[in-house]
Chain A
Amino acid sequence: MSIDLLEGTPAAPPRDNGELVFSEPWQARAFGLAADLVEGDHFTWDEFREHLIEAIAAAGTPVDDGEAPEPWDYYRCWLTALECAVGDRGLLGGEAVADRAATYASRPAGHDH
């Protein structure tokens, strides 16, 4: 995540956060996307919160499928909740999202557009 140039200067707001709001760019995108869909009335924060609670509860439950459990990560739960909310409201089909993700994942390294 980029560091604001004003940080540490008198012009910086006294946030006293002690940490960046988002530690990776995708976290900011997932947050902003959810907020935008709420703003556009595609779902409500309450609906989103229900999905988030489920995702967080599921992340805390060990699964015995032979795979190493992923470390707890709040924004991964947020992203799962976002995907559930989008699917629940039929905004996008799961297949369309999976196809697009597969396409992006197969881009050659360093390819930008």
Chain B
Amino acid sequence: MHDDHGHGHHHGEHDHGRHAASSPEVRVEALEDLLVERGLADRERIDATIQRFEHDIGPMIGARLVAEAWADAGLRRRLLTDADAVVADMDIRGAEIEHIEVKANEPGVHNVVVCTLCSCYPWALLGLPPNWYKSPEYRARVVREPRVVLAEMGLDLEADTELRVWDSSSETRFLVLPERPAGTEGWSVERLAELVTRDSMIGVARVTDPGGR
């Protein structure tokens, strides 16, 4: 962070006075200051949360989980039947507020995740969702014409592959367990995890094999 102020507040980052009262910059600042003044919010905790989501929480956490499941059939079974327990065992922070279900891709079956109403997403495993995931286009179209949307995103599925679209909610967040690529036999979990992309865990991409196919 390039913030010279210890509390990470936006002083100095803005030309104050150039935003209208209705601008989001001013509305957020007014809300935050009033809530902090009344002891309802805490500036340092807000800073810490932002810091965590910008730097410490992200798809690498989900990637590690996927790699472990690839390497350990027992863990894979548990992940598919009781992901919450696995996540709790791995001491993944923030997961306690989310019920997570993991859906495995396999030959002939492909899973893809959406939140049609807003932007529910497995934060603890993937961080905050990418912009396209939140867009009205993706939310509406991936349900209506998933094959077309996936093809546009660069994922062509076989015509006979069954496509399952999972609509997230406040109750359930989904993670896709991609197929392990060929040519990775005997790889360490660390090395496997490097192959796993965010998009593959949302279901809009495959994990490409190390041969590049």
Contact = CB atoms under 8 A, between A and B. Distances in A.
Interface of A: 2-4, 13-22, 24-33, 35-37, 39-40, 42, 45-46, 49, 52-53, 56-57, 60, 72, 74-76, 79, 82-83, 86, 91-92, 96-98, 100-102, 104-113
A52 B16 contact: no
Contacts of A96: 34
What band does the interface of chain B fall in when counting residues whose beta carbon is under 8 Å from A?
Answer: 35 or more
B20 interface: yes
Contact of A17 (B35, B41, B127): B127
A20 B127 CA distance: 11
Given A2-B2, A60-B136, A100-B30, A21 B21 contact: no
Given A17-B130, A32-B47, A113 B11 contact: yes
Contacts of A16: 58-60, 63, 197-198
A82 B31 contact: yes
B37 to A, nearest CB: 9
Closest 7 CB pairs of A and B: A32-B46, A105-B21, A15-B58, A100-B30, A2-B2, A109-B17, A101-B30
B131 to A, nearest CB: 6
